[in-house]
A and B are shown apart, each in its own frame.
Chain A
Amino acid sequence: MMQTIIFYALAIGLLTLSFFKDKQKTKKSLKKAVKALENMMPQFLGIIILVGVMLAVIDPDMISKLIGSSSGWYGTIVAALVGGVTLIPGFIAFPTAALLLQGGAGYMQVGAFVSSLMMVGVVTVPLETKYFGKKVTMARNILAFLYAFVVALIIGKVMGEL
């Protein structure tokens, strides 16, 4: 929340400064901002609804059964896959992860889940492709997915599960 306020203060401050320095340029930059936002809107809105529907359908109980602490690497793979295909805002993701831990999920699996959740974005692939092309998008997402297992391994060691 704090950060959003800082961002608004920064944006409004710089916009005011820009306005006093050059009205034309300010107008141009605002036009660009609106155009860029409108350009992305269809994707943003679609993604939001997709995520909402996914979260409503996925049952946390089922997930914690699949990725329990005795589920080992199999559970870690499931966790990374679930993390990769879902896109959950952080303020929901971490409490969910905490619930999963309480529900019997292992640290390794939760580590893989959180890591791939943040770095891999299957639902945002079309958006990413628009800017980075297919090759970079695929490479980045696949590598980030694999890296989730490195994170799981390290967390498993540190938390004493391995």
Chain B
Amino acid sequence: MKKFVNRYKFFLVMVLVTIGLYIIDPIAGDKAVDTIGFSFKELLSVLPPIFVLLGLLDVWVPRETMVKYMGEGSGIKGILISIFLGSAAAGPLYGAFPLAGVFMKKGVKFSNVLIFIGAWSTTKIPMFLFELSALGTKFALTRLIASMIGIFVIGHLVDKAIKKDDVDEIYANAAQMNV
């Protein structure tokens, strides 16, 4: 029980905050509950297949294969695969982190992991279609192109700014993690 409370501390505090909001301002409380319900449905619909694929990837795909396609020396092929996997993904950015963890565990090059995260965050195809209809072609296309460039700029700068020791530590941590 104590362990549960400790792990779900953040969640429990947020539940109390929501109840507090409801008492102070029932209209805002209703709105919050609506949004939470919506996001929860999104979470439940999007996450299960991602985690099933993550489990299969971890068990079936050997490290050597991942290294070959996305590791050191995978060059432009590795970059393209990283962009493709990130852009084809569904779901919010926080779903990308566990996958990135498995990638690192399997020896995917750090800059490719960063590109994957970048692509997941900003160039998702269905999101783009959504943006197109909501904000117009000119706006959406300009932002897509600017973001594409940004993924590489940010990935490159982070890669350069972080010492090799720190990257090694992150990889060691990923290898130990329960996915």
Contact = CB atoms under 8 A, between A and B. Distances in A.
Nearest to B100: A131
A135 B52 CA distance: 30
Interface residues of A, number: 78
Interface of A is mostly: helix
A119 B122 contact: yes
Contacts of A119: 118, 121-122, 147, 150, 154
Contacts of B130: 90-91, 94
Most buried by A among B13, B49, B127: B49
B11 A36 contact: no
A43 B10 contact: yes
Interface string B23-52: 000001101111110111011011111111
Given A44-B43, A97-B134, A115-B147, A55 B35 contact: yes
28 contacts: A4-B45, A7-B53, A14-B53, A29-B58, A32-B55, A33-B51, A33-B52, A35-B179, A39-B179, A43-B94, A46-B11, A49-B14, A50-B14, A51-B35, A57-B21, A94-B134, A94-B135, A95-B134, A119-B121, A124-B93, A131-B97, A131-B174, A133-B169, A139-B158, A143-B157, A143-B158, A151-B146, A155-B143
